[in-house]
């Protein structure tokens, strides 16, 4: 690869790294091309980008983007990267699901929230709730007290209406006698 192409590749990779919420590193050796293409298509449908990288060029781009030096341990052998755009945990769940159908894809590591995760920590990542799960849980937590408050206020309003009606009846009874 000519030097100009390498420079362009590193710049493009840096741009993707900076716009990603998380980076996942995979070993795809032994994976048939059709399976890898299916994998890429599935990832794209989930709003993730998969890119096969040359380890040395990826290392330069990652270091220039502020990723810790420990990333070099992950960049051994054939490597492809997943760039998460929205939810940093979604790729882990995606990989767990895809791993059941395509066992030749192996998780090598991940970088998210300024932390480097090793292959041994994959289950930890895959079992974390996604942003969507956390939002739904938050709505549920907030909805309980709010609906309780609405019930109390509705009860107080009904009681106030009852008291006002009683006062009106007394008033009309006193003025009518």
Task: Report the percent of the chain where pLDDT is more than 90.
Answer: 33
Same domain? 21 vs 65: yes
**108 DSSP assignment:** E
Whose CA is closest to 17, among 100, 86, 84, 101?
Answer: 84
Domain shared by 100 and 74, yes or no: yes
Q: Do 43 and 70 reside in the same domain of the chain? A: yes
The residue from 98, 113, 128 where one domain ends is 128
Same domain as 150, residue 91: no
What is the pTM for the complete model shown? Answer: 0.72
Same domain, yes or no: 85 and 155: no
Structural domain count of the chain: 2
pLDDT score for 167: 84
Percent of the chain with pLDDT over 70: 98
- What CATH number does the domain containing 109 carry? 3.30.70.1730
* Spatial separation of the C-alpha atoms in residues 29 and 32, rounded to whole Å: 9
* 138 plus 124 within the same structural domain: no
Determine the Cα–Cα distance for residues 150 and 85; give it in Å rounded to an integer: 38
- State the Cα angle at 60 between 4 and 73, rounded to 5°: 140
Residues 135 and 122 both lie in one domain: no
Which H helix or E strand runs over 162? helix 131-176
Give me the DSSP letters along 48-90: EEEEEE-HHHHHHHHHHTT--GGGGGT--SSEEEEEESS-SSH
Examine the domain organization and report whether 122 and 137 are in the same domain: no
End position of a domain, from candidates 112, 128, 144: 128
Beta strands in the chain (DSSP E): 22-27, 48-53, 79-84, 106-112, 115-118
Same domain, 156 and 169: yes
The verdict on 77 and 159 lying in the same domain is no
In this structure, are 157 and 172 located in the same domain?
yes
pLDDT-based confidence at residue 69 (cuts at 50, 70, 90): confident
Task: List the domain range (segments joined by +) for residue 100.
Answer: 3-128
Q: Note the pLDDT of residue 108.
A: 93
Residues 152 and 88 in one domain: no
pLDDT beyond 80 at 110:
yes
CB 12 within 8 A of CB 64: no
pLDDT at 177 over 70: no
Q: Over the stretch 111-168, which tens digit does the pLDDT of each residue have?
A: 998 889 988 988 888 887 777 776 777 777 777 787 777 788 888 888 888 888 888 8
Nearest to 82 by CA among 29, 39, 127, 126: 39
The band of 17, judged by pLDDT with boundaries at 50, 70 and 90, is very high
């Amino acid at each position: 690869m000519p030097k100009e192409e390498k420079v362009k590749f590193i710049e493009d990779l840096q741009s993707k790294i900076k716009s990603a919420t998380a980076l996942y590193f995979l070993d795809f050796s032994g994976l048939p091309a059709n399976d890898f293409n299916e994998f890429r298509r599935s990832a794209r449908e989930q709003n993730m980008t998969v890119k096969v990288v040359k380890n040395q060029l990826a290392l330069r781009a990652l270091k220039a983007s502020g990723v810790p030096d420990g990333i070099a341990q992950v960049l051994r052998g054939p490597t492809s990267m997943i760039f998460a755009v929205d939810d940093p945990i979604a790729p882990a769940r995606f990989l767990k699901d895809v791993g059941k159908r395509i066992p030749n894809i192996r998780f090598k590591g991940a970088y998210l929230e300024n932390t480097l995760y090793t292959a041994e920590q994959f289950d930890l990542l895959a079992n974390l709730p996604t942003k969507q799960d956390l939002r739904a849980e938050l709505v549920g937590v907030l909805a309980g007290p709010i609906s309780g408050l609405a019930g109390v206020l509705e009860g107080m309003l009904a009681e106030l209406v009852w008291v006002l009606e009683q006062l009106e009846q007394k008033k009309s009874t006193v003025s009518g006698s």
